[in-house]
Structure 1
Amino acid sequence: MIDSRPMDTFKPGDVLNNTYRIEAVLGRGGTSEVYKARSEISGRLAALKVLKAEFSANDDYLVLLTREEEIREIRHDAVVRYSENHRTQDGLVYLVMDYVDGPGLDRKLREGPMSAEDLLTVCRRVAEGLEAAHKRNIVHRDLSPDNIILRNGNPAEAVIIDFGIAKDTNPGAETIVGNEFAGKYAYAAPEQLSGQTDARSDIYSLGAMLLANFRGTSPDVGKNPMEVVRKKSEPLDTSGVPEPLRTLIDRMAAPDPDARFQTAAEVLAYLRDNQADADPDATVIFPPPRADDPASEPDPSPATPSPSRPASEPPPARNETRKSRGGLVGLVVVAALLVGGIGGYFGGLFDGFLGPQYPVADPYELIVDHPADERPRATGNVPSEQMLAALNEWMAGLSGTTDLRLATGNIADSWGNDVMTTLSDLRDLDDWRLVLDGNNAQISGSTTDTALHARLSRTFADGLPGALTGSADIELIPLFLPTGEVTAVLERLADCGPIATPGATPVGYGPQSPITVTGKVAETATRIGLFDALSAIAGERNVAVDVDVLNPTLCLIESNLPKAPEGGIGIDFIVGGRNEPNPSGRFFVGENPIIDIALPADVTDGYLTVSILDVSGNVYHLLPNLNRQENAVTALRDGQTGPIKVRVAYSVEEAARENRIGFTVDDSSLGKSKVIVLHSSEPLFDGLRPTSESASGYAAALRDHVETNQASILSLDSRILTTATP
């Protein structure tokens, strides 16, 4: 997972369609972003692939995303499960899929070579997934290390993702999507260069991927169209690869599709056969020789890597007859690839490799951006050698990277100068992004510099430079978030008394300062509302809503309780029938709560008023009440000194015998109740309150008393009692 940025479509805490709450960013592409999210309904984690706003109304991209959604028909643990597409109220389209937690093979590739044993395990697992997909006539077409995730880091739990390849239509991407070609050059099968793709193409890609991860380096595919065509016509160099992985790769990645394993099932059969015949104690495993195939005999010196065969040298022949036929087939394949390559040359297939040929680009796209805390990058089309040199030099000055190609297109004569002028304006922003489609430009960025924001607002107020059209959205992110903005949110949403802001300073919250709030709220919905509202103004700051969720009854009383300090009076819970202390205060259906009030030695006079605020909205007066009217501390002590305990809720047996209050928990109203002990110098009310009354009636009585007798209240102590099902 990676850090959230101001330019992201969604931020952690955002809720999509009242269902999916965003937790983190998993990845970003040219046309889409992937987020980790949790269902507010089921609690299930999911990955959401979201088309960026500029592509959500584009039918071509929607078709690709819909194609990816159709993969949900495949039910196999090695294939990521897709749910469905959704559209937000703002028109953004996203695809819901399973969240797979683990590193991708691309990360493993960057870390270095993988063991042959692990790669055989990955091959078996991925081949099983491909078999399930191919049975439904679904070909991945873009199998590569970044599309394989090792769930929990386990090779035996590899998962194939990203069947849609919609992300790769952006300028400068390694993958080309269209009617003629789909796949990354490094891992694509030779026939894909001339528009031919079937299940055997996925098998080739898997073989190339296994070799790359064994070597710890991506395949070299050349630097121009002819090199690509030539290298793709040659067998992969598997020298030094131990058996049976070497033969497996050779047979999966043969340049001629007819010479490969024809199905994923054949790959799995080979793995089963060689696993069964292998010596489990051997360091290197050989495939069993076949009488009719001398070429399959094991290398007598597997521990010493054989020298690499020159790239131009054909693979060893099985016999003279097959050599002659194989040479002819090889020539035909190379000729076909050359024709396909030349066709791709003139059709713009190899635009990424071309120098000064200036092919036509439609659409004419360029993306230049500088994400926060990352190097800037430029990818796409430029119209002249002069602009190519200027943009490369400009990016080098920012330690950025470029992937640019010369092309002609439907752009204004001043396009190059206009773009460079725009980039100069954006340079000082904290982060920025310029997306060009022909003469149309979309600019976004952010800054904490008020003066810079004002200057750029004036610069773009009357439009973009020169012939460029479009819009600029530059966000001002104040360096300090005023405490008043946070306080305003709390005052608007508080529903159970004031909410505190520990950690707030007079100047506000700094760029890295967390926003923490504490207090009480009436409902879970209020806590969620606080988090959402604070996240909306927090920027990159962390938000912690550390509040107790009570209920409307408790909060009604809370807001009307007198302001008084705690007096050190304890409230002890005991389980009736078993006479066991219950320090948690949690009672289950059928249990009998006993409540004792623990008076400290220094509480020797005054009056006690003890009530329990029930979750159902009622208040029960435990002391005094009609059956027990005496509540003076001296009478309750009855001559005792030191700490004493006064029982106010009894076991059901004692209650029946002594005409006291006792109760058992039923399932009619479960949740949080609150026991309140008020110590006052005078009786709290004029006369007795009924044994039970509504919370609103008791709140009104408290309010009336506080208005005239606040000074008589010495202390207020309380404790939560929770009732639940076992």
Structure 2
Amino acid sequence: MLESRPGDLFQPGDLLNNTYRIECLLGRGGTSDVYKARSEISGNLVALKVLKQELAANEDFTVLMAREENIREIRHAAVVRYSENHRTPDGHIYLLMDYVDGPGLDKRLKQGPMSAEDLLVVCRRVVQGLQAAHTRNIVHRDLSPDNIILRGGDPAEAVIIDFGIAKDTNPGAQTIVGNEFAGKYSYAAPEQMSGNTDARSDIYSLGALLLANFRGAAPKLGANPMEVVENKQKPVDTDGLPEPLKALIDRMCAPDPDDRFQNAGEVLAFLDDPSSGSDGGSLADLLDAPNEDATIIVPQTSRPAPPQSPPAAKPAAEKAKKGGSGLWAALLVLLLLGGGGAGAYFGGFLDSVLGPSYPVARPYSLIAEKPADGPVEIVGNVPSEAVRDGLLGLSQDADLTLASGAIADSWGADILDTVKPLSGLREWRLVVSNNKARLTGTTDDTNVAEMLNELFRNGLPGALEGKADIRFELPMLPVAEVKAIMNSFADCGPLVRQGNGHFEGYGPADPILISGRVASTATRLELFDALRALAHERQVVLDVEVLNDALCVVEQHLPKAPSGGAGVEFAVGGTSVEPNPSGRFFVGENPVIDVVLPNGVTDGYLTVSILDVSGNVFHLLPNISREDNAVASLRDGAQGEVPVRVAYSLEESAANGGIAFKVDDSSLGKSKVLVLHSAEPLFDGMRPTSESAVGFAEALKASYDADSSRIRSLDSRILVTAKP
């Protein structure tokens, strides 16, 4: 469950289509959010998948929601039950489905390894659900730990959710994502990378997530899609797994689909009688678990609605009258039986006995809240004038209606006991429906938070069913604390805090935006984790470029010069030179580099160097084979933009000289091309063709210190080398 934000489409307490009362937000996704709600008619809990507002008018996404609705035809206890799509009066589209209460396998994954016995139970259950889907030609395509929930925490009650990108495999059927890759890299089958998907892809994904949950860690397949594709062609590592789990996952996750179990039925047959790594006994016997049918049709059950009080129910605040109650009750019965009772009752003549009769409210609702910078506001139903007066004493902005309903006798007193202690909170919200209630609040006083959490430790007062969530939250995160973390991870020059509109710090809803460079991916992750721990609910956004130690050494000594507009263009050498705008080169390829002089650069000197991942610097211009780096000479009378080749193809180098090189696997990663335009030569004498990054950095710093005005501009571009 997530905390609601002001920008969320629905808030706890909202009523959709006069039927579904929102209780909380369960999850946020790229295209939709999922809420927990309760039917005001049946009392059943449901989950509502709501299409994001900006996508509601996009026909592609509405078709996708409609296709997910069609999966309701799958009738199996291991597959979440869908109902139908609805549209609110203001145009929001939501899909209704069963609410499954329990942890997802992603949560269990974070808690550590699961036992082989539990995972085999999960496997049987999920495969049965997949069999029901595959029988109807529906392939999930996105099985991962977060798409399997253990109802009540029981592995035998695993439920598959989120068929949002499921594909109908009937001839001609398509989905919004068509034949493109769908699914998470870590758990996707190899063939999904090229858009090929069938039932065997789901079997692979299930095996991969079972392996992850046994290890207690998600698969690490590489830093980029190319590495992922390469590693997906290899068998998964099942060393150390006990039988029959090892043999099961080996067969489920074979890289070649033809080597896997070909359908869910084959997986179930293996589970009943493992063919290797076991003593021959059935898995059902091994786990002492019943051998369930492959498909189970479970009828939807409904909880009876809570009893409603009669129209003339006595208000709670006036119900506890002492003395003679038995006599009055007997008299009432006699009057009613005598025929005049109904007239006396509805005419109000018995109000002195029963109290005044109020209209029935279904549901019996009340919302009281105090915004951060405003007074207490209350709207809803109350059972008596005494309760109304008590609430009016807390708020001058109240809209309260006297009503009767399905509430406890102590309801009014319980509400007052809940609200009165909240004066120390910065903001709070109480949402009540019949006897169910939810209280949330924040404070920047730790003593207030501790006091209220202790007060409500066992739930809300009296007969109210619900809990309180009172959080301590700093109203402002000081900039100094963020800067302290930034400075501790600044291993490649200073990190920069982007403005957020507050000079002194970050408000509760302000994102933390950081830009700059770091020396490694590990540094970036550690920086993010440290900021995330400090940020609480605030968003953390890192616009941080990952370089390497060698580049960072030079980066910190580069002169403070503006960009001069010089471009760096890449191509791949060969019998012909082919443009490579990505700047990414693979082992064996021959990078060709051109520096494009802008129209305004007509004099001075050009220095071009490339810093590679190994910590070396190669001087492309000038060098001992090409000493003249005067801009006038490089232009040779040409006007406008002029390309200057500084790294040649092998064929050009053999014919005319000039530096040329091929990518080998000794130093793969990011290199940086530096283009410096200066009024005078940067260095006294010629630098060696190659030198260490440290030596070059020191020489560059000495040149800048001697005459900072000589450097007019600095431009650069990253070149990446990798295995194919």
User: Structure 1 length normalisation: TM-score?
Assistant: 0.45
Larger Rg: 1
User: Structure 2 length normalisation: TM-score?
Assistant: 0.46
